[in-house]
Structure 1
Amino acid sequence: MNMKISSLLFTLLLFSICVQAQTPSQDAGILSIKKTKDFEVSGKGDAANWKETSFVALTHRKGNKQYSSQFKILYSEKGIYCLYVSQDSLITSTIREDFADIYNEDVVEVFFWPNEKSNIYFEYELSPYNYELPILVPNYEGKFLGWRPWHYEGDRLTRHAASINKTNGKVTSWTAEFFIPYTLLAPLQNVPPVSGTSWRANFYRIDYDNNTSQWSWMPTRKNFHDYEKFGRIIFE
């Protein structure tokens, strides 16, 4: 009887190990990115292309608001598309200009670190009223400062849109959608990605209903710029 039990336990353990090895490793900080054809962003996430991939949940890390927050990501021959849907009941967003400190109000963010041999990464933020902050960030042992893009025009421009969603006149959520062209990421190495390319990345949300609440894909230690704790995205 004991031999049978031992054999059964061994079989179950082996099965568990195999399942863990084959489970999509989102929890382990690895996310596969599907390739798509280029499309227009509307701020509503209604393009048919978004049906090609699934939402990924952001985990609540700080604050008393337990809103659901999720994102999608795709890539094309020309750039990367991101879509965020953020549950909310109060929009805190008064800034009406680009390249401002929009992270001090409601915002979604993404950080891309294409080359792990360099301590320079790209950060993008978008507010509920569609104001953006695209910057390149050198980070030396925790000392960092964002740099604005030069000649930010033509094919180096992002495309972005946002919408605030209401039911019976009450805010229920807001949606952010944007496209980041590879030309804007130059001269970062490992860009543009091809099938099999791996980048480090993280995805965030900040909400300012009374107290600050924060969400992220991968946990960080001190702040969002903890690039060593970023997850990994792999381009299919």
Structure 2
Amino acid sequence: MLHKSLLSLFAFLLLIGNSVSAQKADSSQLIIKKTPDFTVTGEGKSPNWAKTKWVSMPVQETAGEKLNTKAKILYSETGIYFLFHCEDQKLTATFEEDGKPLYKEDVVEVFLWPDPAIPAYLEYELSPLNYELVLMIINKDGKFSGWRPSSYTGKRQIQHATSVQGGEKKSQAAIKSWMGEIFIPFSLLQPMVLGAPAPGSKWRANFYRIDHDKGYTTGSWQKTTPNKPANFHEFNKFGTFVFE
């Protein structure tokens, strides 16, 4: 009887150990749950967001305080959704036009690399003032350049909205946090993708946050250049989205 009990205990501990190891091994993968389409408001109030959990975006480098950042991701038949929550103290944002170099100020960024067979991916940036920068990137041997997508209207256009907590949504305002909500239609990513990913499909991807309140501070899901100035374009270090 004692022998059987010890064997059962050993098997249980082995199962736990394997489970922990699997979780560690899968830290670069994220399961993306499916949702019906919904409207982005910048506040993350859609009940659809309850389908998935927050993902932490640890600080990659900081010149000031370590600000907490987290994100949620969902996908539908027509596109992929992102929700960011950024703890903050001040809105370091002055650009009031789309297409500007938003990365020079407070921003969240999404990188989507659906087809690892080609060195091309989407870079999307959203400022707390709700301005965007959309680029299709070609990255060959570490040398990269970006172009704005053509026919960026209608169903090919990204939907986005932002909100601010604890202050006003204006440049240099004192706040407690800000949120960004994004919908990227699959039609914008053609011909890299030809529609919604089938269950089990995998994309390489990463997402980041930059803050400039007290110097250059970055947070990311997957670290690209640990202990070095961040290079968000090291796409071989991106994580993997697994579509449920």
| TM-score (norm. length: structure 2) | 0.88
Q: Equivalent residue for 2:102?
A: 102
Counterparts of 1:25 and 1:167 in 2: how far apart (Å)? Answer: 41
Which runs of structure 1 show a deviation greater than 6 angstroms over 4 or more consecutive aligned residues? 6-10
Q: Equivalent residue for 1:142?
A: 142
Q: Which amino acid aligns with 2:243?
A: F
User: 1:167 deviation in Å?
Assistant: 6.1
Counterparts of 1:106 and 1:36 in 2: how far apart (Å)? Answer: 29
User: 1:11 deviation in Å?
Assistant: 5.3
**Matches for 1:1-236 after TM superposition, within 5 Å:** 14-21=14-21, 23=23, 28-63=27-62, 64-166=64-166, 170-189=174-193, 191-221=195-225, 223-236=231-244
C-alpha distance after superposition, 1:128-176 (max 9, x if no partner): 0000011110000111111101111111111100111116995100000
Asked if the contact 1:44–1:177 (Cα under 8 Å) also holds between the matched residues in 2, the reply is yes
Question: Does 165-174 or 91-100 show the bigger shift?
Answer: 165-174
C-alpha distance after superposition, 1:35-72 (max 9, x if no partner): 00000000111111111111000011101321110000
What RMSD in Å do the two structures reach over aligned CA positions? 2.3
Unaligned segments of structure 1, at least 5 residues? 1-5
* Matched residue count: 231
Counterparts of 1:99 and 1:232 in 2: how far apart (Å)? Answer: 27
| TM-score (norm. length: structure 1) | 0.91
Q: Secondary structure at the match of 2:166?
A: strand
Question: Does 87-96 or 191-200 show the bigger shift?
Answer: 191-200
CA separation of 1:179 and 1:24: change in aligned 2, threshold 3 A: farther
Counterparts of 1:188 and 1:9 in 2: how far apart (Å)? Answer: 50
Counterparts of 2:77 and 2:21 in 1: how far apart (Å)? Answer: 31
